[in-house]
Structure 1
Amino acid sequence: MRRVSLIFALFSFSFLMAQEGTNIKKTVIPPELVRVAFEKEYPGKIPVWSEEYVGDDNDEIRYEAKYNVDNTIKALAIYDNSGNMKAYELQIPLSKLPVKAQTYLKKNYPAKAIKEIAVVVDDKNQTTYEVGVEKDSKFYDLIFDKNGGFDVSIEKN
């Protein structure tokens, strides 16, 4: 009976680890179409590539290229499997957020709660702002529209 319990526990642990592994981004080498598209858009930049499965059934692959714009600014370019850019995210300082978003943050969060700020432009040329904040030991992405209006808060794990 003890052996059966041990085997069951190991099987359960393996299953849980496999489930967790589906959400972990791993470093990868993207297809040539994706690499060429990145190199054409950002010549001389050295990316760290990862992949993420998206879509309703996690059936679409996105390749994410993280790189340094300079010594202090980071960026992220996201591509589909064919080398089409799906989104671009650029780290920005608080002062570059629209005033409306700055006002919302100052009213609702202490300055130390703000961990990261980025402007995001998607493949439809829609601009949003994402602000990572920590509150009550949880991490949230706050999404603001192009004018700084608050849109949604997404809890991150």
Structure 2
Amino acid sequence: MKTLLKSVYTFALLLCFLVSGNGFAQRIEHNVPIIVMDAFQKKFPNKEPVWFREYQGRFDQKLVYEARFMFDNRYSKAFYENEGKMLAFATVVEKSELPEKVLTYMKEKYPAFPIAESLLVTYSTNEVQFEVGIYIDNNFLVQVFSKDGDFIKMTKG
């Protein structure tokens, strides 16, 4: 029975992860450019992603493809430009994996708001950051930290 409940819980988490889109609805993308799919398969062979697309940038002028998939038993995302260049890789991390400075900051600044999601993000420039999401008044806010746990900025998700 515990195994069944754990499987249902894992499936529910995966479903939430797959359909969450940083606060706005995303649709599954079926027309991913071959160059993007090839770049993904070279980096993550034998992985079966679910693809999404969205426009990003200051004026939503940049088309980005997002692959959501399981990697090392973690929910993960890889972001690609239209030409197949990987922009970033993000993977869910447990609260216990966050640097102590991040946990201290969150406890001091947002004691009444539990962490809803935490990600380890590696950009194509090899910059590594932690992103910690919380809900305040039904708004998803993301606190961004350096790999050492220093606060960088807050953004709306």
Normalising by structure 2, we get a TM-score of 0.77
1: CA distance, partners of 2:72 / 2:113: 24
Matched, 1:124 2:151: no
* Residue in structure 2 matched with residue 92 of structure 1 by the alignment: 93
Contact 1:113 1:135 in 2 (8 A): no
Please give the secondary structure, in 2, of the residue aligned with 1:36: helix
For residues 106-125 of structure 1, the aligned pairs below 5 Å read 106-110=107-111, 113-125=114-126
Counterpart residue type for residue 119 of structure 2: A
2: CA distance, partners of 1:93 / 1:104: 16
Consecutive unaligned residues in structure 1, runs of 5 or more: 1-22
Instruction: Give the one of 59, 62, 66 matched to 1:60.
Output: 62
Query: In the comparison of the two structures, how many residue pairs are matched?
Result: 133
Contact 2:67 2:78 in 1 (8 A): yes
Q: Percent identity?
A: 35
Contact 1:145 1:151 in 2 (8 A): yes
* TM superposition shift of 1:127: 0.8
RMSD value over aligned CA atoms? 1.8
Contact 1:63 1:81 in 2 (8 A): yes
Q: List per-residue Cα deviations over 1:109-138 (Å, max 9, x = no partner).
A: 348621100011111111111011112332
Counterpart residue type for residue 61 of structure 1: L
Instruction: Give the one of 47, 51, 54 matched to 2:53.
Output: 51
Normalising by structure 1, we get a TM-score of 0.77
Counterpart residue type for residue 105 of structure 1: M
Counterpart residue type for residue 109 of structure 1: Y
Residues 56/112 of structure 1: CA separation in 2 closer, same or farther (3 Å cut):
closer
Consecutive unaligned residues in structure 2, runs of 5 or more: 1-23
* TM superposition shift of 1:106: 2.0
Instruction: Give the one of 69, 72, 79 matched to 2:71.
Output: 69
Counterpart residue type for residue 120 of structure 2: V
